Structure 1
Amino acid sequence: MATTAPTPDKPRLLLLDGHSLAYRAFFALPVENFATTDGQPTNAVYGFTSMLINVLRDEQPTHIAVAFDRSEPTFRHEAYVEYKAGRQKTPDEFRSQVSLIFEVLDALRIPRLSVAGFEADDIIATLSVQATAAGMDTLVVTGDRDAFQLVDESVTILYPIRGVSELARMDPAAVETKYGVPPERYRELAALVGESSDNLPGVPGVGPKTAAKWLTKYGDLDALVAHVDEIKGKAGDNLREHLASVLRNQQINKLDCDVALEAAPAELKMGQWEREEIHTLFDSLQFRVLRERLYASLSAVEPEADEGFDVDLQALEPGALASWLEENTAAGRTGVAVTGTWGRGTGELTGVALASAAGAAVHLDPAELIADDERALAAWLADASRPKAMHEAKGPMLALAARGLEIEGLTSDTALAAYLALPGQRTFDLADLALRYLHRELRDDGDTSGQLTLDGSGEEEAALDLAVRARAVGELADVLDRDLERRGATRLLHEVELPLVGVLAGMERAGIAVDADHLAGLSATLGGQVKEMEQRAHEAVGREFNLGSPKQVQQVLFDELGLPKTKRTKTGYTTDSEALTNLLAKDGHPVLEHILRWREVAKLKSIVDSLIPMADDAGRIHTTFNQMVAATGRLSSTDPNLQNIPIRTAEGRQIREAFVVGGGYDTLLTADYSQIELRIMAHLSGDEALLEAFGTGADFHTITAARVFDLPPEEIDSELRARIKAMNYGLAYGLSAYGLSQQLRISAEEARGLMEEYFQQFGGVRDYLQDVVARARQDGYTETILGRRRYLPDLNSDNRQRREMAERMALNAPIQGSAADIVKVASLRVDQALRDRSLESRILLQVHDELVLEVAPGEHDALSDLVRAQMAGAYDLKAPLEVSMGTGRTWQEAAH
């Protein structure tokens, strides 16, 4: 925002031109960068919602409405049939987002208005006039300059000057400064100049400066018309020749201030929005950052919190901790909150707060703990018989472990519990969950809840804040326990996700060794290849250009070389990798291959260069595993993202060569499941032919291809096998016929035929997939073999795109989620078996369906047997789990 309005001293009505702003947002943000994981474009709804949050925060209106155009012709079309003719066809990616913007407004309880036969501007004009008469100020957010005619002392326009992120405040003085005429003359100026977007041609050669000079000299358009013969030169001739068009423009540009509306300005108040509804919608749109901004910037109309959290924070004398723990934590669960820093396998503890169910609390500063209190804390934390609850426990575990403190008896991680209850959500902030589940608020700067028995200094305020968090965690854990029981997820939390926290923390602490020299050499090699591809691309077109600049690549490909145009974007024609790959298949120009290769190698080099500084002093890299990102239950990792290391290219495999066995260990061992998704699909569908294909022991894809194509297995060539392999995995991932056609580069009709042939042989799979969607539509969720639910409210959405997205999720979630569950169980079983047998070998990584272990001297055979047995026994499938294993000095060498 250019400026922030002062706090209003009288009612303030905020009116927004919905389509105008949404369209600007669509072209301001690239479609390819704003889409859900299932392909729904969200750039327009994201930009619009971001702007809306900013305006609500900065302007603090008391009343609000968003006006939208309708598809029916307006009175302007009746007056001038060419009105708005020639406009480009509305992009499909934009049309699919309008209903999503409606959903955002409805969720925020913001009134939206439209009237057949009128444009949004007319609705805004009518409300502005009514608001002024009612003694209200009006702010209008629009990208349509026609609205400048409304500006007066009570009406201000907020006009986007950069996308929708920067708005200019156009009051009467600003309009006159910008256009040289006061707002009441703007419509006349626009009539003279014309408006190309509305197909309203003006006087040729006449711009705003000339038009303003004429209007200033003669007073208004009527007076100008009366003296039209006095205008000299070519401009005068053009004015006289096009005078009829000017007068028509003036009439069409006039905003109707008398539209019949159902609501008066005083009735246009933002309603009471529901946090649960906002979460559900923003989860489906994957607007994590916007949700955080919304909650940070805006409060609900009515307070969401009934009260805060009361704690009795007690100051302990040195040596008194043991007795306090015995007195206050002997019964019930204790909330534990920690401050500090953590990541990359370690951390530093700066504060610990404990709060009993009764509200007694203590804050401990590790820097001031005497030895007796440190021992008491260590013993209590390690006591599994004392139940504890934490929020996002893995990071604090690293900080505790760095101080030599281990925690046992963790019966709830409130972030993990919320993740199982709300798997579509992307963040699990404690304050948000406390509001959502308990209708209670953590302390803010002005909150004095809690009994502060200390001196009230800044340090003690921080101590009280942490104690309140500990109390909130304890209470939230109880409520979430009941919610998970209702959802059937209690066992999943206690037998899988909670135990896994400690296993993952151990893996993060261990890290994996890297060969720094190999990484440095690989970086240099890749850097040379980047330069080589750049040089080849320059030679292919006969001049230098920046391969990293989409604009310059567009100019070279489409303007200079005249290659076939790709999909049109705001900035020209797309040059993304998919488009260039398709273009290469059609045209074959060598520069396309060089550009694609340059991008591939440059990406690999960036991965290598990012890994080099991540190694610690011991030469090990410590990734961070994330349990609460993927709604399917899949683990992800960051810093580095181990799932982002490609293995399909020789260079990508060389990156895995950099991960090596560490000192004191013999080798790395990798173990992963063979075709786990397909085995799960066979298990869930019960398809006899599919189960039989696994039972033969032969190549699964060859056997299934033989059935589909009615050929002996020995006649199945690589192309036929590849088609059925894509089908096998595609069905497990919810692939549509269109998706299959794109993957195999065949027509959609041919892909549908292939699917029909497949289902003729594997009817159980077809029936299972149909039943999954039908049951999910009825129940509202899908479920994995361990009871992990994926809630899919959009299965019954009126929005076709969202409904189809939800159907793909319904097909994908049970298989992908079950695979994730099994791999997690396997990790737990292997870790427990290592401890039971007192082996020194350890798990380092879990990536996709693979475990990577470091083998201690003399333990190879025992470890191999242990890992195979524990992984194969993780779940009893009808198509039994099979484990592939390999060993080697490097991760790549150990791959199999």
Structure 2
Amino acid sequence: MAETASKKTEKTEEKRPRLMLMDGHSLAYRAFFALPAENFTTATGQPTNAIYGFASMLANTLRDEQPTHFAVAFDVSRKTWRAEEFPEYKANRSKTPDEFKGQVELIGELLDAMRAPRFAVDGYEADDVIATLATQAEAEGFEVLIVTGDRDSFQLVSDHITVLYPTKGVSELTRFTPEKVQEKYGLSPSQYPDFAALRGDPSDNLPGIPGVGEKTAAKWINQFGSFAELVERADEVKGKAGQNFRDHLESVKLNRRLTEMVRDVELPKTVADLAREPYDRTAVALVLDTLEIRNPSLRERLLAVDPGTAEETAPAPAAGVDLDFTVLGAGELAPWLAAHGDQPLGVATVDSWALGTGNVSEIALAAAGGAAAWFDPSTLDEADERAWAAWISDPERPKALHNAKSAMRVFPEHGWTVAGVTMDTALAAYLVKPGRRSFALDALSVEYLGRELAPAATADGQLAFGADDTAEAEALMSQARAVLDLAAAFDEKLAEVGARDLLHDVELPTSALLARLERHGIAADREHLEAMEQQFAGAVQQAVKEAHASVGHEFNLGSPKQLQEVFFGELNLPKTKKTKTGYTTDADALAWLAAQTEHELPVIMLRHREQARLRSTVEGLIKTIAADGRIHTTFSQTVAATGRLSSTDPNLQNVPVRTDEGR
């Protein structure tokens, strides 16, 4: 009979709807420190490590827990009811890292695309929102899972509320049930805020009691049964610890009020409103593409937990995208151009200029009527070659390209002049929205055409295919058609913002000029640069010797920790700005120390860093000198929202001009 009852209970439990609540700020911050920002940054410099880590954990947790309902709560600011009651609440926390700023907002964009409800309530923390929803859901018969890095949430644990607590970055979660809380702390979940009030919380700047750690706090709660009873019988607590408790009684009472989560926050949605909905898959793809998160595993995991089906949620194909794919062999390009070359064509290429060869391996063309062609330039016969060279150089034959400058730079290596470019979809996207983070073709196709292109793309939006695979050739032809359709869409967008003339009269001619500059290159005197590199290297070594002599022993001038020990330990110089790792020794701090003290080390260190930077700059320039003795940098018109040019490989803006040596 007992076995039957047990099975009946299990069956009932399976029918419970399951709500999963996530503490957005807590988890994003953990993800930020779990993944190095330098490995997760877009071409425009936007860090994405917190977004990537959060999205990965989100995908895994949704897959493993399979909730029927879901929501994420975020903090609004540190101006909460707790801060009003206790102004020092969280006041000890360091400034939010610049690399983290903005990533929470972008996580919100991803959640919106996934149609996942998110909450942020003025005056309250995410904890309070989660406590309110968890309490309501449990009363309505839900099983609740709370994913958070805040231990205060353990007070919410019950037979139907479980906390999933990250114990290793954001990749491993420990399940805190009532039994687990008891095992870990020797207390029930309802006693946890009593325990936390006595222990204090350095991360929230809540003071503890001198001489009272976790063991003593747990012992007192178990001995007296509750915090209220402990306060009532405070005189019975023995020893020095008991006296310390009585001396700090008011601050401990305050801790207890602040530690208790609010369970009745007024919210715009009820638990029933949190039922999972199918993604807006077009929007999800756009967010990931814009953030240049192209990892296929992460994408697959996120899409795999979409509550809807791919058929129901995939973007509908734009009208008129059925293509007549034609893979052209020798002797077939000239007739194709004769049939279609009088109308505007979209052009897409795969080239290996980035490898330094300037070898165009594939070209695809697409016409508005649906005709599309792919060819390998190395297979052209004489008639094809003449027809192609005439068409690509004819200013009367309109052409649309994505990042046309790339073709303008590479095609002349094959004897092909590029003319008649009436639309560059990358430049047009920039003029329509200069502040966007990505101008990749696949991202633009999703946003403006509702059409997903093949996912494997390089930084400039070109797709990297092998020449033998028909499916890959068709993908490049689809890309050419996307360029053509985007050209029409952007022509209207440019008219709306009054930027048509700016594209045709300024940006496209500038693009052609930059292509010539890149191709021609900048003359470089290798011998002179190598002599400069040796000069700066010698100056660096001299500065090292002087620094060692100034303190009487050797130390690593590149180690912040050793510099801190020398400056503020051995030399006892004035303290600079405090950071997480100690007192800063950045350039501003060194300049301040040089002005505050007569010791020579700050001045030597400034000189050492300047010479080291100059040496590094010269080394970088030497490495980029090509076989023709010139530096062929790549200019970009779409990186800076202000309209200024930028350059890469090398970045010529890194060449210092403010000092005599730099000039």
Distance in 1 of aligned mates of 2:245 and 2:644 = 72
Q: How much does 1:348 deviate?
A: 1.8
TM-score, reference length from structure 2: 0.76
Distance in 1 of aligned mates of 2:34 and 2:582 = 13
Q: How much does 1:528 deviate?
A: 1.5
Other-structure match for 1:172: 176
Q: How much does 1:201 deviate?
A: 5.1
Distance in 1 of aligned mates of 2:97 and 2:377 = 55
Q: How much does 1:483 deviate?
A: 2.0
Give CA-to-partner distance per residue, 1:710-758, whole Å, 9 cap, x none.
xxxxxxxxxxxxxxxxxxxxxxxxxxxxxxxxxxxxxxxxxxxxxxxxx
Q: Give the conservation status (yes or no) of the 8 Å contact 1:22–1:47.
A: no
Other-structure match for 2:213: 207
Residue from 546, 554, 558 that aligns with 2:568: 558
Residue from 331, 346, 351 that aligns with 1:319: 331
Distance in 1 of aligned mates of 2:661 and 2:16 = 65
Residue from 120, 124, 130 that aligns with 1:124: 130
Q: Does 1:348 align with 2:359?
A: yes
Q: How does 1:804-883 map to 2 (within 5 A)?
A: none
Q: Does 1:442 align with 2:449?
A: no
C-alpha change, 1:87 and 1:339, in structure 2 (3 Å) is closer
Residue from 390, 396, 401 that aligns with 2:412: 401
Distance in 2 of aligned mates of 1:578 and 1:259 = 46
Distance in 2 of aligned mates of 1:391 and 1:69 = 40
Other-structure match for 2:119: 112
The one-letter amino acid of 1:265's match is V
Secondary structure in structure 1 of the residue aligned to 2:388: helix
Q: How much does 1:559 deviate?
A: 3.7
The one-letter amino acid of 1:624's match is T
Residue from 389, 398, 404 that aligns with 2:400: 389
Residue from 193, 196, 205 that aligns with 2:199: 193
What RMSD over aligned residues (CA atoms) do the two structures have, in Å? 4.9
Other-structure match for 2:613: 603
Residue from 58, 61, 70 that aligns with 1:59: 61
Secondary structure in structure 2 of the residue aligned to 1:336: strand
Q: How much does 1:459 deviate?
A: 0.7
Give CA-to-partner distance per residue, 1:398-456, whole Å, 9 cap, x none.
443333333322221111121122222242111221222223332569xxxxxxxxxxx
Other-structure match for 1:571: 581
The one-letter amino acid of 1:147's match is S
Distance in 2 of aligned mates of 1:607 and 1:498 = 31
Q: Does 1:517 align with 2:521?
A: no
C-alpha change, 1:137 and 1:545, in structure 2 (3 Å) is farther
Q: How does 1:767-778 map to 2 (within 5 A)?
A: none
Q: Give the conservation status (yes or no) of the 8 Å contact 1:313–1:464.
A: yes
Q: Unaligned regions of 5+ residues in structure 2, if any?
A: 1-14, 457-466
Q: Give the conservation status (yes or no) of the 8 Å contact 1:138–1:156.
A: yes
Secondary structure in structure 2 of the residue aligned to 1:389: strand
Give CA-to-partner distance per residue, 1:307-355, whole Å, 9 cap, x none.
153211024453222111111222x211111112213875222211111
Q: Does 1:416 align with 2:422?
A: no
Q: Give the conservation status (yes or no) of the 8 Å contact 1:344–1:623.
A: no
C-alpha change, 1:466 and 1:578, in structure 2 (3 Å) is same
Distance in 2 of aligned mates of 1:412 and 1:369 = 26
Distance in 2 of aligned mates of 1:367 and 1:566 = 64
Distance in 2 of aligned mates of 1:219 and 1:355 = 80
Q: Unaligned regions of 5+ residues in structure 1, if any?
A: 1-7, 36-40, 446-456, 654-896
Secondary structure in structure 2 of the residue aligned to 1:347: coil
C-alpha change, 1:593 and 1:72, in structure 2 (3 Å) is closer
Secondary structure in structure 2 of the residue aligned to 1:428: coil
Residue from 518, 535, 540 that aligns with 1:530: 540
Q: How much does 1:261 deviate?
A: 3.6
Secondary structure in structure 2 of the residue aligned to 1:314: strand
Distance in 2 of aligned mates of 1:269 and 1:575 = 52
The one-letter amino acid of 2:61's match is E
C-alpha change, 1:102 and 1:188, in structure 2 (3 Å) is same
Distance in 1 of aligned mates of 2:598 and 2:513 = 50
Q: Give the conservation status (yes or no) of the 8 Å contact 2:166–2:173.
A: no
Q: How much does 1:135 deviate?
A: 5.3
Other-structure match for 1:13: 20
Give CA-to-partner distance per residue, 1:533-582, whole Å, 9 cap, x none.
12222222333332222333233333443333333333333332233223
C-alpha change, 1:198 and 1:261, in structure 2 (3 Å) is same
Secondary structure in structure 1 of the residue aligned to 2:423: strand
C-alpha change, 1:348 and 1:605, in structure 2 (3 Å) is same
Give CA-to-partner distance per residue, 1:670-694, whole Å, 9 cap, x none.
xxxxxxxxxxxxxxxxxxxxxxxxx
Q: How much does 1:360 deviate?
A: 0.5
The one-letter amino acid of 1:59's match is T
Q: Give the conservation status (yes or no) of the 8 Å contact 1:345–1:624.
A: no
Q: Give the conservation status (yes or no) of the 8 Å contact 1:84–1:197.
A: no
C-alpha change, 1:236 and 1:551, in structure 2 (3 Å) is closer
Q: Does 1:612 align with 2:615?
A: no
C-alpha change, 1:153 and 1:519, in structure 2 (3 Å) is farther
Q: Give the conservation status (yes or no) of the 8 Å contact 1:344–1:509.
A: no
Residue from 138, 145, 152 that aligns with 2:151: 145
Distance in 2 of aligned mates of 1:425 and 1:270 = 29
**Percent of paired sites with the same residue:** 42
TM-score, reference length from structure 1: 0.58
Q: How much does 1:467 deviate?
A: 0.4
Other-structure match for 1:820: none
Q: Give the conservation status (yes or no) of the 8 Å contact 2:21–2:130.
A: no
Distance in 1 of aligned mates of 2:493 and 2:122 = 44
Residue from 336, 344, 365 that aligns with 2:347: 336
Secondary structure in structure 2 of the residue aligned to 1:171: strand
Q: Give the conservation status (yes or no) of the 8 Å contact 1:310–1:468.
A: no
Q: How does 1:222-621 map to 2 (within 5 A)?
A: 253-268=259-274, 290=291, 292=293, 297=299, 305-307=315-317, 309-316=321-328, 318-330=330-342, 332-343=343-354, 346-443=357-454, 459-621=469-631
Q: Give the conservation status (yes or no) of the 8 Å contact 2:325–2:371.
A: yes
Secondary structure in structure 2 of the residue aligned to 1:474: helix
Q: Give the conservation status (yes or no) of the 8 Å contact 1:512–1:620.
A: yes
Give CA-to-partner distance per residue, 1:560-618, whole Å, 9 cap, x none.
43333333333333332233223323434321111111111111111122222322233
Distance in 2 of aligned mates of 1:394 and 1:576 = 40
Give aligned pairs, total. 610
C-alpha change, 1:361 and 1:585, in structure 2 (3 Å) is same
C-alpha change, 1:408 and 1:103, in structure 2 (3 Å) is closer
Distance in 2 of aligned mates of 1:481 and 1:73 = 48
C-alpha change, 1:224 and 1:369, in structure 2 (3 Å) is farther
Other-structure match for 1:645: 655
The one-letter amino acid of 2:407's match is P
Give CA-to-partner distance per residue, 1:224-272, whole Å, 9 cap, x none.
979x99x999698679868978788667644343444442223247999
Q: Give the conservation status (yes or no) of the 8 Å contact 1:344–1:622.
A: no
Q: How much does 1:212 deviate?
A: 6.0
Q: Give the conservation status (yes or no) of the 8 Å contact 1:206–1:235.
A: no
Secondary structure in structure 1 of the residue aligned to 2:469: helix
Secondary structure in structure 2 of the residue aligned to 1:310: coil
The one-letter amino acid of 1:171's match is R
Q: Give the conservation status (yes or no) of the 8 Å contact 1:306–1:439.
A: yes
